[in-house]
Structure 1
Amino acid sequence: MADDNQNQISSRSSRIYDVVIFGASGFTGKYVVREALKFLNAPNSPLKTLALAGRSPSRLSEALKWASAPNPPPKIPLLTADTSDPNSLTRIASQAKIILDCVGPFRLYGEPVVAACVESGCDYLDICGEPDFMERMEASYHDKAAEKGSLVISACGFDSIPAEMGLLFHSRQWTGPSAPNRVEAYLRLESDKKIVGNFGTYESAVLGVANADKLVELRRSRPKRARPAIPGPAPPKGSIIEHQKQLDLWGLKLPSADSIVVRRTLSTLTENPHGLPGVNESDENRKTREAFWSTAKPAHFGVKLGSKSLLGLFPFIMFGVFLGLLSKVSLGRWLLLKYPSFFSAGGFRKEGPSEDEVASATFKMWFVGQGFSDSSLASQGNKKPDTEVITRVMGPEIGYLTTPIVLLQCALVALKERDNLPKGGVFTPGIVFGATDLEKRLQENGISFDFISVNSLSA
């Protein structure tokens, strides 16, 4: 086994490119390129060699010019690859340490890239927020990825790093014997211009709802995962809309990928209480990893969309109604995908947001946790939570600014700390990156993690 590990490490070190960005000319891809150029050959950066890949070299060239402006574009290889051509994907995967996949919807285009990376022993990170795709990849490729030494990690964008790292940050605020029971994240999008989402995200949502039954079937076909021990009873489901008095926000419950990814991370942690050992980690890193995960306190987790007014939630409620009614039939899906701006009240459009709209947008995600000042209180009959902790994660626009920042920092951690990460397998980002310096890196690149308050709750 040790020889196999050493051979895979040697193979990885001999690859031509540290990172290949696949789908570099797409809406999100070009922002990922712009973010990557900040770290290419920068002092103390492990990113020394970079290539861009996609179907059209001319479009890749245009994306590189855009991302480099106002400077002239650097000499970066432009590789031709297409999800319909497995050989082209294997070719780029065999030359790369890491592929950053920006081609969605991942339900339609993601699996061939994962397959090529696993076969080649190349690490794979993506910006997917599609639970069905992520769980199918785990079911289909985990064992082979573990054997081949390929780390496959989805949800390395706004979905779901702010939620995962934010929850871990929140968890550390419950010190001593205190413990959370439930944590609700309230996401508020802010801008002095119109907030416009990525059409790929919209398409993924339509296809996700349309194929929800397949995800249920997949879960039923797989062994049940371990569930973490959370002090106190499971919280009531609560209403779809509520007023959060502490934050003065109206919250709309979301069927969020974040909560699903968090649950998968907590299941993996329950099965591996000290985290996942690195392929060739130092004794110092092992101690750091074990100490970090010993502070993690699991909780029931959910996400809500926050708005200052009840009226502000109305467009999202209507979009949810349209999505539920129309996505199950082919004509309905065609209408939803043909007229995204109409059905989302302008929240999504095919051409995406303007650069000014991107630059003006920000997000705030509050984590409101309720639990017990002493976890032993939870077992005393119908004892209710007596403590509330509030933390917050903030950053720039979610789809084109925060997502590239997060994806690049995950890639830099994977390059620099590869020996301290698992040999291979299909995992969620939280369990792989939680004990690394990812949170510190995000703080240094415009995404803040803040403690807000701790309060006693009346009985």
Structure 2
Amino acid sequence: MEETPPPYDMIILGASGFTGKYVLKEALKFLRSSSSPSSSSPLKSIAIAGRNPAKLAQSLSWATHPNPPPQIPILTSDTSDFSSLLYVTSLTRLVLNCVGPFRLHGDPVVRACVQNGTDYLDICGEPEFMEKMEVEYHDQAIDKGCLVVSACGFDSVPAELGFMFNSRQFDIPNSVEAYLSLESDKKIVGNFATYESAVLGVANANVLRQLRKSRPKRPRPQIPGPPPPKGPTIEQKKELGLWAVRLPSADSAVVRRTLSILSANPSGLPGVNESADHIKKREAFWSTVKPAHFGVKIGTKSFLGILRLIAVGLFIGLLGNFSFGRWLLLKFPSFFTLGWFRKKGPTEDEVSSASFKMWFVGHGFSDSSTASLGNKKPDTQIVTRVTGPEIGYITTPIILVQCALITLSQRVDLPKGGVYPPGIVFGPTDLQERLQQNGISFDLISKA
């Protein structure tokens, strides 16, 4: 006897938050209805959930303005009330979690999804949370047949797909360095929850170190040639027109997790019920992705901009280590970030005027004989680039919703279950093509 499918294809949890309302707005573009059936979309039913039904209703009105809001169910659920999460996650095939910081609010949502066998995607950029969820729930998620995939937003899909796109241009890559440049005609203002996550990340850095020490060593991919030199703290990258400094984001950790899983599963992860055609496609895709050393830097066009970045990093790094310092950082975000973050978030004008460029500078070898000489330096450089709109409120919802549509429409081709980074799950799907159709471009810039 077949189980009755849940009433909703997808529930957006935290749809009244800064990012959540933009995720809702993006998702509604793909909702099939009798008046405007998007025939290619698998999304036939959607609900929104959160603590405050009135705020959720406001978000729905905002997302559809100037048109009247559609009749979408509004569900009350609180991350501090596990029974409400258990109920809400039982009503859907897929949860999109937009409630951060995830180290404070994410665990019970993942636990509820795993107990119900419900697929879960989020926009987390916190390595400690992601790796803790893998430790706690990976085996249970496999048993229950549900996917738990974090970092399905700007953290860290552009880094993962951008790395793969660069790696696939090479015969034998050695290293790929990403350079992120944020641009705007107006002021760049970040998401406060992202800032709060960074502050808490500094406070809990030791927890992440202990977590990694306590785990069995991950398989390490074999990378031809010597590791790249460390390089200066501040780098002038003339060919990109940027000054750059190391960015302590989740991207490097997420890419390393995907490469580690790939080194143990060279053909990728088999789908739960994939066709022979998809098996061929998956194996062919992963045969072209080669491991390489990976790092991320953030760049600005002026040296003064880099000094400003370093100053903000020092404030967070020094004050984030003790409770009064964290209180100051979170009480006065605009002061300690020199205007980059504020509690009320950016205006709609500031969002619409912002964009990003992420350059990937890859170094590798032109042939295997050069690579086999252990101390030989790479002799080939390939530059690729990923570009798109504002990262937190436009790019992140585009990515999350496309990952959701793939999960709903291509579930048989995805792994049965488990806790994974996005690259290993969505790499061999058509995610890159979908992002290109929705305003995020992948370009080959030069080969030398």
Say whether the fold is shared (TM-score over 0.5): yes
Aligned to 1:35: 26
Aligned to 2:402: 409
Establish whether residue 180 from structure 1 lines up as the match of residue 176 from structure 2: no
Aligned to 1:312: 305
Counting only pairs closer than 5 Å after superposition, residues 437-448 of structure 1 correspond to structure 2 as 437-448=430-441
Deviations 1:280-306 (A, max 9, x none): 111111110000000001110000001
In structure 2, how many angstroms separate the alpha carbons of the residues matched to 1:164 and 1:383? 27
Establish whether residue 70 from structure 1 lines up as the match of residue 70 from structure 2: no
In structure 2, how many angstroms separate the alpha carbons of the residues matched to 1:399 and 1:43? 29
In structure 1, how many angstroms separate the alpha carbons of the residues matched to 2:14 and 2:308? 31
| Alpha-carbon offset, residue 70 of structure 1 | 1.3
Q: Judge conservation of contact 2:153–2:396 (CA < 8 Å) in 1.
A: yes
| Alpha-carbon offset, residue 248 of structure 1 | 2.1
Aligned to 2:327: 334
Aligned to 1:135: 131
Deviations 1:71-102 (A, max 9, x none): 11000000000001111101111111100000
In structure 2, how many angstroms separate the alpha carbons of the residues matched to 1:352 and 1:447? 23
Could you tell me which runs of 5 or more consecutive residues in structure 2 were left unpaired when the two chains were aligned.
33-37
In structure 1, how many angstroms separate the alpha carbons of the residues matched to 2:215 and 2:406? 31
In structure 2, how many angstroms separate the alpha carbons of the residues matched to 1:167 and 1:376? 24
Counterpart of 2:254 in structure 1: which amino acid?
V
Aligned to 1:236: 229
| Alpha-carbon offset, residue 381 of structure 1 | 4.2
In structure 2, how many angstroms separate the alpha carbons of the residues matched to 1:296 and 1:51? 37
Moved more, 193-202 or 243-252: 243-252
Q: Judge conservation of contact 2:226–2:374 (CA < 8 Å) in 1.
A: no
In structure 2, how many angstroms separate the alpha carbons of the residues matched to 1:58 and 1:249? 45
Counting only pairs closer than 5 Å after superposition, residues 318-357 of structure 1 correspond to structure 2 as 318-357=311-350
Counterpart of 1:334 in structure 2: which amino acid?
W
Aligned to 1:83: 79
Could you tell me which runs of 5 or more consecutive residues in structure 1 were left unpaired when the two chains were aligned.
1-6
Aligned to 1:17: 8
Aligned to 1:3: none
Aligned to 2:35: none
In structure 2, how many angstroms separate the alpha carbons of the residues matched to 1:141 and 1:207? 22
| Alpha-carbon offset, residue 312 of structure 1 | 1.2
Counting only pairs closer than 5 Å after superposition, residues 380-459 of structure 1 correspond to structure 2 as 380-455=373-448
Residue among 216, 223, 226 paired with 2:219: 226
RMSD over aligned CA atoms reads: 0.9
Q: Judge conservation of contact 2:77–2:84 (CA < 8 Å) in 1.
A: yes
Aligned to 1:171: 167
Aligned to 1:282: 275
Residue among 119, 122, 136 paired with 2:118: 122
In structure 2, how many angstroms separate the alpha carbons of the residues matched to 1:218 and 1:235? 27
Look up the SS of the partner of 1:52 in the other structure: strand
Aligned to 1:4: none
In structure 1, how many angstroms separate the alpha carbons of the residues matched to 2:66 and 2:420? 38
In structure 2, how many angstroms separate the alpha carbons of the residues matched to 1:382 and 1:410? 41
In structure 2, how many angstroms separate the alpha carbons of the residues matched to 1:287 and 1:324? 47
Q: Judge conservation of contact 2:226–2:376 (CA < 8 Å) in 1.
A: no
In structure 1, how many angstroms separate the alpha carbons of the residues matched to 2:230 and 2:439? 34
Aligned to 1:61: 57
Look up the SS of the partner of 2:151 in the other structure: coil
Counterpart of 1:117 in structure 2: which amino acid?
C
Count residues in correspondence.
Answer: 443
